Amino acid sequence: MAQDQYRYAELLAAGLSREQVRRLVGLSRLHRLTRSVYTPSADPAARLPAIFRRLPETAVVGFHTGAQLHGFGDVRSFDVHIIVPAGENVPQMRGVVAHEAVLPVRDTVLLGGVPCAPAARCAVDLARSLRRMDAMPLLDLCLRVGACRSEELRAEVARHKRLRGVCQARELVPRADPRAECRQESQLRLVLIDGGLPPPEPQVWVPDGHGVPLYRLDLGYRRRKVGVEYDGSSHLDRDRLRHDRSRSNWLAANGWKIRHFTDLDLYRRPNHIIKTLVPLLHP
């Protein structure tokens, strides 16, 4: 057994009482992996080797847990997500979600000591099942970290024909862009596209008079000289505020029209974003 996993009998032999074990679990200082096996780690990935000892040989890691192992776990889950063939008998285990799939998992890889679906399969499964506003950032991040390539996503989504949610995945996969640097930028880009505006370019560099890149915009329309910025909590820092004001003044003096939006706009009034930008893009 791994050094970070302990059997119930070992905990009792170390001097803990049954009540103390229950209390530690209640305080999330111990986590129950499977029957009579515990770990101090809250990371679902730490539970995988113990869990797979009780799973059928056909099981592979996928969905949220697979994305996490591949490095693009933008949407976290405290459950362990596995994929099994439809009709496979899987023992009931607390914190384990079994997804029965009619589509076989091809080209599994070994990650964290357990078989895992390839990155493209994890990404497309999530793009089919998550909300649009969560799916877009995840697809962008998948490409950004190099977990797979755009053509792999397109090939994978083609295999999911007629499966639930495939229309959403088929629409979002071609729009995935590795240049997005945070989930809010991805979501803001999706709001603009869903609002009927042309797809903006992520991470637009604006050069100075000598052609040297000077300032970078979150999203932009070069021809119209329109920039779209997401202002998160980092923009509240005083030094950052001074830089932002100097930057805004320079951009305005050089013909750029910059519009700033916050979490309130993004999550509560996306129509306000569209109404603000339409006159700038369709004068």
Please give the domain boundaries of the chain with CATH numbers for all domains.
6-42 (no CATH), 51-175 (no CATH), 183-281 (3.40.960.10)
pLDDT at 12 over 80: yes
Please list, residue by residue across 102-132, b when 16 or more beta carbons sit within 10 angstroms of its beta carbon and e when fewer do: ebebeebeebbebbbbbbbbbbbbbbbbbee
Q: 10 pLDDT band (50/70/90 cuts)?
A: confident
**Between residues 203 and 79, the one the model is more confident about:** 203
- Distance of alpha carbon 99 from alpha carbon 96, whole angstroms: 10
Question: Do strands 80-85 and 201-207 pair parallel, antiparallel, or not at all (unpaired)?
Answer: unpaired
For residue 2, the model assigns a pLDDT of: 47
pLDDT at 280 over 50: yes
Q: Which two tokens stand for residue 67?
A: 């994305």
The answer to whether residues 153 and 147 touch, using CB atoms and an 8 Å cutoff, is no
pLDDT at 39 over 80: no
For residue 43, the model assigns a pLDDT of: 66
pLDDT at 237 over 80: no
Give 143-160 pLDDT, tens digit per residue. 999 999 999 999 999 999
Q: Which two tokens stand for residue 223?
A: 């021809």
Measured in degrees and rounded to the nearest 5, phi and psi for residue 49 equal: -60, -40
For residue 271, the model assigns a pLDDT of: 97
Measured in degrees and rounded to the nearest 5, phi and psi for residue 100 equal: -80, 125
On average, the pLDDT of the chain sits at 90
Give 97-130 pLDDT, tens digit per residue. 999 999 999 999 999 889 999 999 999 999 999 9
- Distance of alpha carbon 126 from alpha carbon 120, whole angstroms: 10
pLDDT at 190 over 90: yes
- Stretch 225-230: mean pLDDT: 97
**Lowest-confidence pick of 73-87, 125-139, 158-172, 262-276:** 73-87
Give 46-97 pLDDT, tens digit per residue. 678 878 888 999 999 999 999 999 999 988 888 899 999 999 999 888 789 9
The answer to whether residues 64 and 126 touch, using CB atoms and an 8 Å cutoff, is yes
User: Above pLDDT 70, what percent of the chain?
Assistant: 93
The answer to whether residues 97 and 110 touch, using CB atoms and an 8 Å cutoff, is no
